[in-house]
Amino acid sequence: MKRLATALIALAFIAAGCGSSTSPSSTTPTKPTFTATLLPANEVPPITNAESSGTGTATITFDTTTSGGNVTAATVTFVANLTGFPAGTTVTLGHIHKAPAGVAGGVVISANVTATPLATGTGTLTLSNASPDVAVVQDILNNPSQYYFNLHSTLNPGGFTRGQLSRVQ
């Protein structure tokens, strides 16, 4: 009986050692996604002219490669849905800035924008940046509320609508 128990224990260890396991990949692709509620009142100072009536949302998706929990490569896509702005509002720039709500901050990631008029004051913009700084992307992943997305227009070259980033995925 003792010999059978010893054989069964040995067999269990051998079987456990033969189990299949996959070693983690050295690089892992991920798509962290953020949203921002865009409001002219969020700009610093708040917008009070004709473009103060609009609203919008932005979805910002980073296509990242990570290794050991750190971002090693990234691209970013911005999708902004705008409504209620004056007909003919022309979007000229889009950026992610580093600063908490109520504070103006420096640009850390620019979106590639071609001047885009909103013929009816409503529209969707899809913008991109093929090579954001990976250290900045890592910091956004770690501290999204310390960053905001805003859009600029011909009427408000310093920005006409803004929203803090919030991670959704």
Which of these ranges, 2-11, 26-35, 89-98, has the smallest mean pLDDT?
2-11
Instruction: Report CA torsion sign: 100, 103, 106, 112.
Output: positive
Most confident of 7-11, 14-18, 30-34: 30-34
Residue 14 has pLDDT above 90, yes or no: no
Mean pLDDT of the chain: 88
pLDDT attached to residue 105: 98
Residue 149 has pLDDT above 50, yes or no: yes
Which residues are paired to 89 by β-bridges? 118
Using alpha carbons, list the distances in angstroms from residue 21 to 3, 15, 58, 152: 31, 13, 41, 51
What tokens were used for 5?
A: 């128990």
Q: What is the pTM of this model?
A: 0.82
User: What are the boundaries of each domain within the chain?
Assistant: 25-167
**What is the arithmetic mean of pLDDT over 129-136?**
94
Do residues 55 and 38 make contact, with C-beta atoms less than 8 angstroms apart? Answer: yes
Better-scored residue on pLDDT, 131 or 104:
104
**What is the arithmetic mean of pLDDT over 31-45?**
98
Fold of 25-167: Immunoglobulin-like (2.60.40)
pLDDT attached to residue 61: 97
pLDDT attached to residue 89: 98
pLDDT attached to residue 3: 54
Model pLDDT for residues 43-53, shown as the tens digit of each residue: 999 999 999 99
